[in-house]
Structure 1
Amino acid sequence: MNLDLSFYNWDMFSSYVIRGLWFSLQLTVIATIGGVVFGTILALMRLSGNKWLAVPATSYVNVMRSIPLVMVILWFFLLIPMIIGQSIGAEYSAYITFIAFEAAYFSEIMRAGIQSIPRGQVFAGQALGMTYSQNMRIVILPQALRNMLPVLLTQSIILFQDTSLVYAIGAYDLFKGLDLAGKNYGRPVEAYLMAAVIYFFICFVLSFIVKRLQKKIAIVR
């Protein structure tokens, strides 16, 4: 089958791709920020030594990591409207489910980062009279975030790839836009090829940035 290169034009790109690409990038950023925030809270709960905090946090992380993301998206999109009696929309469902799901993975990253800090740093903070929260906020977390930054960015790249799953609930992401373009223009092969190229290009560039960042952090150490 010959490719129709006329499919790749500005009108198609502006009409179908830009809106979907913007939503995919927006979802990635929001889910990353929300996932890191809630993931850090979960990590601190697991490391607190209090079973009333550690057990629920551990259970949440284990359950989320055991369920495919697409199932979480579908369950939330289909079940929540039945519970509250109204639809919350595909886009908001995507934001909430991605934050809730990614928090479990970011939690494990943050927990590993916190545990990578030498115990002497913790004891030094305690010797200065810092409380647990002050010690974490001022001494431990800044170092852990720096150590885990490449891993956090790598997880964000995976998150961006996973945004294509919101197609299952009809959210208008990059894949959905190109799928519609392929159907409307009658050129599905060209549309899916373009989707693959865009995903590859963005992920390749971000991966290159992560590698450079890893080298820079290694030099600082």
Structure 2
Amino acid sequence: MPDFSVITQNLPYLLWGRALEGQPGGLLLTLIMSLEAGVLALVVGVLLALAAWLSGGWTRRILFAWADFIRGIPLIFVIFWLYFLLPSLFGVNLPDTITVVLAIAWFTSAAVMYSTLAGLEALPKGQVEAGLSAGFSRTKVLVNILLPQALPNVLPSLVGVFISLIKDTSLAFIVNVPELTTVAGQVNNRTQIYPTEIFLFTGAVYFLLCGALSLTVHLAGGRRARPA
């Protein structure tokens, strides 16, 4: 029979690590990393989509080539590159957690760029012509007219991207950042005899996190679509 007493005995460590000592870990660190990487990826991805929409020629090709390159390699490579290359090339020694956040944000921003650009290009072309004829510049048409319409339309796609981002934080274990998967592994190594219970609990936590995000956005979208 499964014995989940190992979870209750180690629950504070699994939930927030050594936060009381100024070193957050476990679920708390997973949430912090997800929020920071998500905000960075959203900002960078939207800006890249705007740049791709406004530009043409080589600038647009370079942006697409960059996004395709990032999407075509495993995230674990991006984490390794930043973790080992930043100190060797630039003499920059960032904290491990920040390095992973930057890697995940960089990786995810490519997906955000594609989703946002698809939303912009799906809008009727007549809106651009109407905005230009009203005296707006292309940048103002993009920011004031198109983007506020495109972002709600691509919200389901962005939610899927950010659900993947939450799960991607588990790769931080490869550089020993003490997020949820890492501390679960530490508890398992310490106890040795409860891997099933520990990793069932860890998987359930990720499922609840991702499910809660999806449900929240779904309910918010339902309220917005409901007539007043």
Q: TM-score, normalised by structure 1?
A: 0.91
Counterparts of 1:98 and 1:5, CA distance in 2: 32
Aligned pair partner of 1:24 in 30, 40, 45: 30
Would the aligned equivalents of 1:16 and 1:180 in 2 still touch at CA under 8 Å? no
- The aligned counterpart of 1:12 is 10
Determine the C-alpha separation between the residues in 2 that align with 1:217 and 1:117: 20
1:197 and 2:209 matched: no
Between the aligned partners of 2:58 and 2:47, the Cα distance in structure 1 is: 14
Q: 2:89 aligns with which of 72, 76, 83?
A: 83
- The CA distance in 2 between the partners of 1:175 and 1:33, in whole Å, is 22
Give the whole-Å Cα distance in 2 for the aligned partners of 1:58 and 1:195: 36
- Over residues 37-57 of structure 1, what are the superposed CA-to-partner deviations in whole Å (9 max), with x where a residue is unaligned? 111122122222432421221
Residue 158 of structure 1 is matched in structure 2 by 164
Letter in 1 for 2:12: S
Find the counterpart in structure 2 of residue 50 from structure 1: 56
Which secondary structure state, in structure 2, belongs to the residue aligned with residue 8 of structure 1?
helix
Q: Which of 69, 90, 98 matches 2:104?
A: 98
Unaligned runs of 5+ in 1: none
What is aligned with 1:128? 134
Separation in structure 2 between the aligned mates of residue 216 and residue 112 of structure 1, nearest angstrom? 25
Runs of at least 5 residues in structure 2 that lack an aligned partner in the other structure: 17-24
Partner letter of residue 131 of structure 1? S
**AA paired with 1:3?**
P
SS in 1 for 2:154: helix
Q: CA RMSD in A?
A: 1.8
Q: Aligned letter for 2:205?
A: I
Who is 1:212 aligned against?
219
Q: Distance in 2 between matches of 1:58 and 1:86?
A: 28
Say whether the 8 Å CA contact 1:27–1:95 is kept in structure 2: yes
Report which stretch shifted further, 17-26 or 111-120. Answer: 17-26
- The equivalent of 2:145 in structure 1 is 139
Q: 1:216/1:112 Cα in 2 relative to 1: closer, same or farther (>3 Å)?
A: farther
Q: CA deviation at 1:61?
A: 0.4
Partner of 1:73: 79
* TM-superposed deviation, 1:178: 1.3
- What is the number of residues matched between the two proteins? 218
**Alignment partners' CA distance in 2, 1:49 and 1:8:** 53
